[in-house]
Chains A and B, each alone.
Chain A
């Protein structure tokens, strides 16, 4: 192939990728004019190129929720087809089907108000850098970004819509507008606060709509998407689909996590999610999670059940997350006993966050922990409860104590507890230990025999390499 006589496939590819120069465009047009077969070939290539773009969600149409107040200085004009009084039947139909249309119209008009049609709209969104480590940006800097690609380092920034996003390299994302980003690679944790309710994160397989919360989305190199809700609620849709009640795959709440392996796959419960405990951000699908724990799973089989176990590698210590909780409660953390230091033996262990048995209205069953090397496994057991047989048989009580808290009243687990001097409710846990001499699976049983009502806090778990 020469530059003077490039192959048609080379020309075709350059055209579709937008890299053809004027000479190549001229050659391309000449070939199309002269040869019906090459016209057919181009049509095939363009169609597949477009459908693949569409299929992977990269041509998703912007929706109504995109625009933040700062981006739309005035209320947009109402479109003709919206301003007419619609019948109830029609209204229902519109809600069911074409949120899309309304979104398009709103978007378009809002856009037109910002800039005349003849002026090219500047792309990118304004972000303020809040924290930076090993990234090219400085704290306090305000930059307009269209894309962000980092191989290493971490960055926390506030988008003009108010959403605060934390990313760690390797990560790549595109800023569609102040209320929407597209995550191409890596992980992003977003705290939308109140202002940015309706913030959207797109990936190749899913669209995640935030309902006012803190959540993490991670994108693996294989195209899978993990969604972990740290607080509040998000709604998950298939990539490229309009966001309607009919197309919603799941609503996820604090402490829940799900995975979409591909755009067309069934949404599934993600049983474990790795976090950075201090920042409460997620670690990506491509980031190493734990050196000692390769998997945590249980045998709960329940429809629409998405509660997950969290792993914070090396994170055990004062304030380490014991459980992600739901419905607006603060996260539960591990705390020292009054007047005592945090047990040195536990510090730096990988901490596995569990969830309370009441979320499934029965005592939790077995939890399986897969270990990659010899480890000490710790169970942090509610001191008020009678230790079950499996704990007494396989573990030894170290005599160490820690507390979980702050809890809130009116729970089964806290109904007989009073707030301490600081006004908080804490639960004391005894620390049990089992040494596991080789890699393998450790199974932890239920808090109490299965037929018993369980009025105690769920146990916590920590793992440390021997």
Chain B
């Protein structure tokens, strides 16, 4: 295995590679604990900075992502503390439960994103257009509903089903790979 442990100079190339490859998974972890994408970028930045500072403490024999999740979780807690008056989706007990469950399921983060792209290709053009409108162009769901003359509830349900479809597809593809 390539040497990953950092010296006093800072992160090694391998550490940097691991951290870069973990960005999407860390982002997803943070979004899950925050209950949305608001503040997720800031929390990810904080976690990245802490990880870089503590890079010499990383044991390359341990899964990187699980180690990184611990920092991300801490930064989520810090963010919640800063935003005490804001809307908190999860209470402390639920957050702890979720964090533990997500940390257990940490897999190849980069692979998950690639599989998602494959699953997107399997969607119908209309489904892809909806995803592009919401996530690519940043249109609000109510605006999309209005543009397509659909009710907001119907559109919300549709997006829920699209995410479910993608989640099932990702799970299925990764499951098949593991079995193979």
B101 contacts the other chain (Cβ, under 8 Å)?
yes
How many B residues, CB 8 Å from partner? Answer: 69
B60 contacts the other chain (Cβ, under 8 Å)?
no
A50 touches B136 (CB 8 A): no
| Alpha-carbon separation in the docked complex, A90 to B167 (Å) | 38
Q: Which residues of B contact A104 (CB under 8 A)?
A: 45, 48-49
A396 contacts the other chain (Cβ, under 8 Å)?
no
Contact digits for A108-151, partner B, Cβ 8 Å, 1 yes 0 no: 10000000011000000000000000000000000000000000
Cross-chain contact of B94 among A29, A45, A100, A219 (Cβ < 8 A): A29
- Which residue of chain B is the closest to A82 with respect to CB atoms? B10
Cross-chain contact of B35 among A15, A79, A89 (Cβ < 8 A): A15
Contact digits for B27-41, partner A, Cβ 8 Å, 1 yes 0 no: 110111001111011
A56 touches B136 (CB 8 A): yes
A61 touches B45 (CB 8 A): yes
B45 touches A97 (CB 8 A): no
A1 contacts the other chain (Cβ, under 8 Å)?
yes
Chain B nearest Cβ from A100, distance in angstroms: 7
Quick one: given A29-B90, A49-B31, are A84 and B8 in contact (CB under 8 Å)? yes
B96 contacts the other chain (Cβ, under 8 Å)?
no
CB-contacts of B27-68 with A (<8 A): 27-28, 30-32, 35-38, 40-41, 44-46, 48-49, 52-53, 55
B176 contacts the other chain (Cβ, under 8 Å)?
no
A29 touches B49 (CB 8 A): no
A389 contacts the other chain (Cβ, under 8 Å)?
no
Q: Which residues of A contact B134 (CB under 8 A)?
A: 52
Of listed B28, B82, B91, B93, residue having the most chain A CB within 10 A = B28
A297 contacts the other chain (Cβ, under 8 Å)?
no
Cross-chain contact of B160 among A13, A29, A182 (Cβ < 8 A): A13
Q: Which residues of A contact B131 (CB under 8 A)?
A: 52
A52 touches B135 (CB 8 A): yes
A117 touches B82 (CB 8 A): yes
A25 touches B45 (CB 8 A): no
Q: Which residues of A contact B28 (CB under 8 A)?
A: 46-47, 50-51, 54
| Alpha-carbon separation in the docked complex, A108 to B52 (Å) | 14
Of listed B31, B157, B163, residue having the most chain A CB within 10 A = B163
CB-contacts of B103-161 with A (<8 A): 112-113, 116-117, 120, 129, 131-132, 134-141, 153, 156-157, 159-161
How many A-B pairs with Cβ below 8 Å? Answer: 209
B116 touches A55 (CB 8 A): yes
Cross-chain contact of A33 among B94, B138, B167 (Cβ < 8 A): B94
Chain B nearest Cβ from A46, distance in angstroms: 4
Chain B nearest Cβ from A56, distance in angstroms: 4
Chain A nearest Cβ from B5, distance in angstroms: 13
| Alpha-carbon separation in the docked complex, A93 to B19 (Å) | 13
Quick one: given A46-B28, A98-B16, are A17 and B9 in contact (CB under 8 Å)? no
Query: Which residues of B pack against A, CB within 8 Å?
Result: 8-13, 16-17, 19-20, 23-24, 27-28, 30-32, 35-38, 40-41, 44-46, 48-49, 52-53, 55, 82, 87, 89-91, 93-94, 97-98, 101-102, 112-113, 116-117, 120, 129, 131-132, 134-141, 153, 156-157, 159-161, 163-164, 166-167, 170
Give me 23 A-to-B residue pairs in the complex whose CB atoms sit less than 8 angstroms apart, sorted by A's number: A1-B153, A12-B160, A13-B159, A14-B156, A32-B90, A44-B164, A48-B116, A50-B30, A52-B116, A54-B24, A55-B113, A55-B135, A58-B138, A59-B37, A79-B49, A80-B53, A90-B9, A90-B13, A93-B12, A93-B13, A97-B13, A105-B49, A174-B138
Q: Which 8 A-B pairs have the closest CB atoms?
A: A93-B13, A204-B136, A50-B31, A50-B28, A97-B16, A46-B32, A44-B167, A56-B135
Query: Which residues of A pack against B, CB within 8 Å?
Result: 1, 9-10, 12-18, 20, 22, 25, 28-29, 32-33, 39, 41-59, 61-62, 79-82, 84-87, 89-90, 92-94, 96-98, 100-101, 104-105, 107-108, 117-118, 172, 174, 182, 184-185, 204-205, 219, 221-223, 242, 264
